[in-house]
């Protein structure tokens, strides 16, 4: 599913500890990436003003993975939008009632400006062995497809999944964001289900979350440009 929300598919995972570190990275790559992903690590420390600063550079993806009762999730997503987010994550596991309410909210907020709620399926740091035993004893891929069906039925249009499940979701008309993206030569770190950028886009990814291969590169800007050349 195509979208004009971002100029290229790289979503920079800005996983650093301080505003100063974030600014240093964004001075180098902010104009090159499609979006800036901000999690609790920076978002809770520096708040809405910091998010607004980042949104002036590139579309912001607030990745707090909201998972609560429907009214609380709606309020959290609305607050994230007001802070300047173009993308926000929620957990698909929160269920159909919550996702349906969020789909209504997404439609309302898009009357103001482009905005997408991304429902997280199964975390890319989980594999069959590390998935909570309390979940139904399906394969990871079965959980992802079931949750993607739920997302689509609810009226939401975007999700987060591993690139390994993209082939199974090719008939789902959804905006698919894939974490766990590593250039061929990079370490997998704590991600279990990984893929390189070219493979993920060929498999149907709409956007790619990439962090450490850029953040830890000797020249972050060149690392982004090198990735863009391959896709």
Within 8 A by CB and 6+ apart from 67, the residues are 73, 90, 91, 93, 94
List, in order, residues 6 or more apart from 22 with CB less than 8 Å away: 14, 16, 42, 50, 54
pLDDT at 127: 66
pLDDT for 2 equals: 45
C-alpha closest to that of 120 among 142, 89, 149: 89
Q: Which residue has the tokens 């301080």?
A: 18
Asked if residues 78 and 109 have their Cβ atoms less than 8 Å apart, the reply is yes
Say which CATH class 10-230 falls into: alpha beta
Q: Are 195 and 201 in contact (CB under 8 A)?
A: no
Rg (CA), the chain: 17
User: At 48, phi and psi to the nearest 5?
Assistant: -65, -35
CA dist., res. 17 & res. 41, Å (int)? 7
Chain position carrying tokens 């195509």 = 2
Give the pTM. Answer: 0.90
Task: Average pLDDT across each block of 10 residues of the chain; the chain has 231 residues. List them in order.
Answer: 80 97 98 97 96 98 97 98 98 96 98 97 70 71 91 96 91 94 64 78 96 95 95 88
Q: How much is the pLDDT for 195?
A: 87
Q: CA 143 → CA 51, 148, 165, distances in Å? A: 33, 9, 10
Catalytically active residues, by annotation: 65
Q: What is the pLDDT of residue 125?
A: 72
Report the pLDDT value the prediction gives residue 184, as an integer from 0 to 100.
63
Residues β-bridged to residue 195: 181
Q: Determine contact, residues 166/155, Cβ cutoff 8 Å.
A: no
């Amino acid at each position: 599913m195509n979208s004009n929300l971002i100029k290229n598919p790289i979503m920079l995972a800005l996983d650093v500890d301080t505003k100063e570190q974030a600014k240093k990275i964004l001075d180098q790559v902010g104009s090159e990436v499609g979006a800036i992903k901000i999690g609790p690590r920076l978002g809770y420390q520096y708040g809405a003003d910091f998010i607004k600063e980042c949104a002036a550079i590139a579309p912001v993806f607030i990745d707090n993975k909201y998972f609560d009762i429907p009214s609380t999730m709606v309020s959290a997503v609305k607050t994230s939008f007001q802070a300047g987010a173009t993308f926000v994550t929620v957990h698909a596991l929160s269920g159909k009632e919550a996702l349906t309410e969020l789909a209504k909210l997404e439609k309302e907020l898009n009357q103001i400006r482009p905005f997408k709620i991304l429902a997280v399926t199964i975390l890319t740091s989980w594999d069959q062995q590390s998935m909570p035993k309390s979940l139904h004893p399906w394969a990871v891929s079965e959980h992802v497809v079931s949750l993607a069906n739920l997302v689509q039925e609810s009226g939401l249009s975007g999700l987060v999944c591993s690139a390994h499940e993209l082939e199974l979701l090719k008939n789902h008309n959804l905006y698919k964001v894939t974490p766990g993206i590593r250039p061929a030569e990079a370490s997998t770190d704590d991600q279990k289900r990984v893929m390189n950028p070219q493979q993920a886009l060929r498999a149907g990814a709409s956007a790619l979350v990439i962090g450490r291969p850029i953040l830890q590169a000797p020249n972050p800007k060149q690392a982004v440009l090198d990735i863009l050349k391959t896709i």
